[in-house]
Chains A and B, each alone.
Chain A
Amino acid sequence: MANSESGQPLAVAPQAYGALWRGLLRPLRTVAQPAAAVALALACGAALLAFNGYDARAVIDVMVLGVFQDTRSIAEILLKATPLILIGVGLCVAFRCSIWNIGAEGQFYAGAAAATAIGVSFNGLGAWLYVPLVMLAGALAGAAWAAIAGLLKIYFRASEIVTTIMLNYIALIMTSYLVTGPLRDAAAAYPQSARLVQEAWMPRILPPTRLHIGILVALVLAVVMYVFLFRSARGYALRVVGISPDAARYAGISVPRNIMISICLSGSMAGLAGAFEIAGVTRRLFQSISPGYGFEGIAVALLANNNPIGAIFSGLLFAVLRSGSELMQITAQIPQVLVLVIQGIVILSVVGFAVLRIPSLRPSE
């Protein structure tokens, strides 16, 4: 969004107008392509619905009416957006460093598992201590899980794309082990952890809805990460490594160090998202705690052109789609596969528009 790295509005009169125009146009241009991608995708989706014999217009009405019908619906969207924004923002940082972290799903699981382990263990800590502790556990576990891929890349030149994908499976299997073994709720017939101690629950901010403080943390972190990436020397160094490791090395910027910073930051955000999902929503660990947030987060970052502020909006968009998909099934009997196809088209068209943008993404030659 506000990607205006230029912007010196206080110039002399004739130039001031030009600068002002540029200042206004620039964010507009940043928004234009993702917006066009989304518009195209939704148009395709509507055509697809019509082609399959559904009244696309009515479906859209239902979706808009239903998704935004009352406080609860809006709270549910924000609830769904929380992990997507957190993961998306984290991935913006990694992708800006050209670290292709495909392992947010696994890092989410690592964070969820650690948050559960901490969240079921203590009594009488008091929420003011317990809640931050659970968040910290999730973030650290996510960072540690991501760090494995970072170290493998630095010391063995192992592609992080491969290692992070593999680590996803390991995290999933380890979670299954935990809920069928050490963390299993003895009273429950099916594999799940015990319920978290009540002091560890994320405070809800809009009762009676389930919305919890996670959304606020996500919004704050998005701004913090934007400032870090685009307004700090460290963030600048990280982006230089992303654009050209050789140039970074020549300039005395440590490449391994920035690789670790970026992958651990993105891992900690995914881990934090996992902790929020456990302590804020489900309050138990399950074998399949994530419906693919980690992968959807990649699309969130991509649609936002790796801009953390943009990730807020793309995260919200995907949350609306997800929320809408359930409602479309219930009210319009649209099979979930069709909804998944529409989501797929959104991602495809986003990628398609990103290709148009490649010259501006490519390092200057």
Chain B
Amino acid sequence: MMITRRGCLASAVAAAALIAAGSALAEGAPFKMGLLVPGSVSEEGWNRIGFNALKGVEAELGAEVSYVELQQNPASFEKAFHDFASQGYNVILGHGFEFQDAALAVAPEYPDTVFLISSSYISEGNVIGLNTDTSQPFYLMGVIAAKTGKKAGLVGGMEIPPIKEAFEGFTNGVRSVAPDFPISEVYIGNFTDATATKEASLSLISQGADFVLPNASGATVGGFQAAAESGENVKTFSIFSDFTSVAPKNILGLYIADYARGVIRIVGDIKNGKKPTTNVEFGLKDADVMQFTYNDQAANPVTENVRKYVDEVKAKIAAGEIKTRQK
């Protein structure tokens, strides 16, 4: 078995050398990272996030990188992990929970390779889950909503864990300030129909909500359009990207997640011989990954008092004193 594997490694390296035409081999074994994505990296969205992380590792850590697009085909996952690992890749990122099973099956054969899995809580040997705890920034938004508004409306894409966890954090944040503060929650059933998000938000606003928060990936923008059309007293929060231009008067602040920064940091640690020993959860403690800022151009900007209070809450969350959601 060992001989075969060594043989296959040798032939793979030889094969790579044929095309690489680089002098990488002369410098000794280069640090290599591979990426598995469940779709095309040429479109904005989930797969691009993984690709950006890979490109960041290439640029900042000088790693050799490569990726494979697998089009939601579970049968091919194991083989792709083998293909990378047998060619001596040091880190392989499976970008999505769906890669977890395949990584677990392959990992024992390649103890020197670290298998990172996005959206996973796994921690088994050299398979490490990476996660962004969105409930934390949403908890802060809940605090702000309860401090500044009368009723909150949440518009989600589909009822899947990342969305539900975010809203759970928001609700807990609201409850920490005002236990009886009314919150309505609506799901549009997809992640693409911005008009549906807008309609749902408008309907929540007409029912008295003065703080609306959309969270529907590509369809999120509809919520900001609804806020902009409903007057300056409707407040909202820009999430994941900067939507300030859509509703400059309504957006109280920005939560921006930079997953690539987190991945670069973890992979950098691995390169320096510091493999994570548990699953990694990025939160407010990781200021490079999660940025939480305010929009001073808003019609009713968040007051200094509230900001001070939010900072205290944020520090407590980062220190692990406040739990933003059930684990």
Which A positions have Cβ atoms within 8 angstroms of B? 55, 58-59, 61-62, 65-66, 69-73, 76, 79-80, 189-190, 192, 208, 210, 277, 281-282, 284, 286-291, 323, 326-327, 329-333, 335-337
Closest chain-A Cβ to B28's Cβ sits at a distance in Å of 20
Complex interface: chain A residues within 8 A of B242 (CB): none
Complex interface: chain A residues within 8 A of B160 (CB): 189-190
Q: Is B240 an interface residue (CB 8 A)?
A: no
Which of B18, B34, B74 is close to A62, meaning CB atoms less than 8 Å apart?
A: B18
Establish whether residues A291 and B15, one from each chain, have CB atoms under 8 Å apart when the complex forms: no
Complex interface: chain B residues within 8 A of A79 (CB): 75
Assembly CA distance A213 to B74 (angstroms)? 19
Closest chain-A Cβ to B97's Cβ sits at a distance in Å of 5
Within 8 A of A (CB), among B1-26: 1, 4, 7-8, 11-12, 14-16, 18-19
B42-86 interface code vs A (CB 8 A; 1 in, 0 out): 000000000000000000000000111111111110111011100
Q: Is B101 an interface residue (CB 8 A)?
A: yes
Closest chain-B Cβ to A86's Cβ sits at a distance in Å of 14
Given A189-B161, A333-B66, the answer on whether A70 and B7 have CB atoms closer than 8 Å is yes
Assembly CA distance A352 to B166 (angstroms)? 54
Q: Is B98 an interface residue (CB 8 A)?
A: yes
Q: Is B87 an interface residue (CB 8 A)?
A: yes
Complex interface: chain A residues within 8 A of B101 (CB): 284
Which of B71, B73, B75, B87 is close to A330, meaning CB atoms less than 8 Å apart?
A: B87
Establish whether residues A291 and B73, one from each chain, have CB atoms under 8 Å apart when the complex forms: yes
Assembly CA distance A169 to B84 (angstroms)? 34
Assembly CA distance A282 to B7 (angstroms)? 28
Establish whether residues B11 and A286, one from each chain, have CB atoms under 8 Å apart when the complex forms: no
Complex interface: chain B residues within 8 A of A329 (CB): 66-69
Complex interface: chain A residues within 8 A of B19 (CB): 55, 58-59, 62, 331-332
Establish whether residues B75 and A281, one from each chain, have CB atoms under 8 Å apart when the complex forms: yes
Closest chain-B Cβ to A84's Cβ sits at a distance in Å of 12
Establish whether residues A291 and B4, one from each chain, have CB atoms under 8 Å apart when the complex forms: no
Assembly CA distance A282 to B11 (angstroms)? 29
Apart from A192-B98, A330-B34: 14 A-B pairs, beta carbons within 8 A: A55-B19, A69-B11, A71-B4, A79-B75, A210-B78, A281-B75, A284-B101, A288-B72, A291-B72, A329-B68, A330-B66, A330-B80, A331-B12, A337-B40
Assembly CA distance A291 to B70 (angstroms)? 9
Q: Nearest B residue to A291 by beta-carbon distance?
A: B73
Closest chain-A Cβ to B281's Cβ sits at a distance in Å of 14
Complex interface: chain A residues within 8 A of B11 (CB): 65, 69-70
Establish whether residues A326 and B80, one from each chain, have CB atoms under 8 Å apart when the complex forms: yes
From B1, B69, B119, name the one whose CB has the most chain A CB atoms within 10 angstroms: B69
Given A329-B68, A330-B83, the answer on whether A70 and B18 have CB atoms closer than 8 Å is no
Which B positions have Cβ atoms within 8 angstroms of A? 1, 4, 7-8, 11-12, 14-16, 18-19, 34, 40, 66-76, 78-80, 82-84, 87, 97-98, 101, 109, 119, 160-161
Establish whether residues A282 and B12, one from each chain, have CB atoms under 8 Å apart when the complex forms: no
Which of B15, B73, B75 is close to A66, meaning CB atoms less than 8 Å apart?
A: B15
Complex interface: chain B residues within 8 A of A61 (CB): 15, 18
Given A61-B15, A330-B66, A330-B80, the answer on whether A70 and B4 have CB atoms closer than 8 Å is yes
Establish whether residues B83 and A327, one from each chain, have CB atoms under 8 Å apart when the complex forms: yes
Given A58-B19, A70-B8, the answer on whether A330 and B68 have CB atoms closer than 8 Å is yes
Closest chain-A Cβ to B294's Cβ sits at a distance in Å of 32
Assembly CA distance A15 to B143 (angstroms)? 96
Q: Could you pull out 26 A-B pairs where Cβ atoms are within 8 angstroms?
A: A61-B15, A62-B16, A65-B11, A65-B14, A69-B8, A69-B11, A72-B82, A76-B79, A189-B97, A189-B160, A192-B98, A284-B101, A286-B72, A288-B73, A288-B74, A289-B74, A291-B76, A326-B80, A329-B67, A330-B34, A330-B83, A330-B84, A330-B87, A331-B12, A336-B69, A336-B71
Complex interface: chain B residues within 8 A of A72 (CB): 8, 82
Establish whether residues B98 and A286, one from each chain, have CB atoms under 8 Å apart when the complex forms: yes
Given A190-B161, A284-B101, the answer on whether A326 and B76 have CB atoms closer than 8 Å is yes
Q: Nearest B residue to A323 by beta-carbon distance?
A: B79
Complex interface: chain B residues within 8 A of A55 (CB): 19
Closest chain-A Cβ to B66's Cβ sits at a distance in Å of 5
Complex interface: chain A residues within 8 A of B78 (CB): 210
Establish whether residues A331 and B66, one from each chain, have CB atoms under 8 Å apart when the complex forms: yes
Assembly CA distance A337 to B39 (angstroms)? 11
Q: Nearest B residue to A190 by beta-carbon distance?
A: B97
Complex interface: chain A residues within 8 A of B73 (CB): 288, 290-291
Closest chain-B Cβ to A105's Cβ sits at a distance in Å of 13
Complex interface: chain A residues within 8 A of B80 (CB): 326, 330
Which of A66, A80, A291 is close to B12, meaning CB atoms less than 8 Å apart?
A: A66
Closest chain-B Cβ to A196's Cβ sits at a distance in Å of 12
Complex interface: chain A residues within 8 A of B12 (CB): 65-66, 69, 331
Assembly CA distance A335 to B80 (angstroms)? 15
Complex interface: chain A residues within 8 A of B71 (CB): 291, 336
Assembly CA distance A284 to B78 (angstroms)? 14
Complex interface: chain B residues within 8 A of A189 (CB): 97, 119, 160-161
Complex interface: chain A residues within 8 A of B18 (CB): 58, 61-62
Q: Nearest B residue to A83 by beta-carbon distance?
A: B75
Closest chain-B Cβ to A192's Cβ sits at a distance in Å of 8
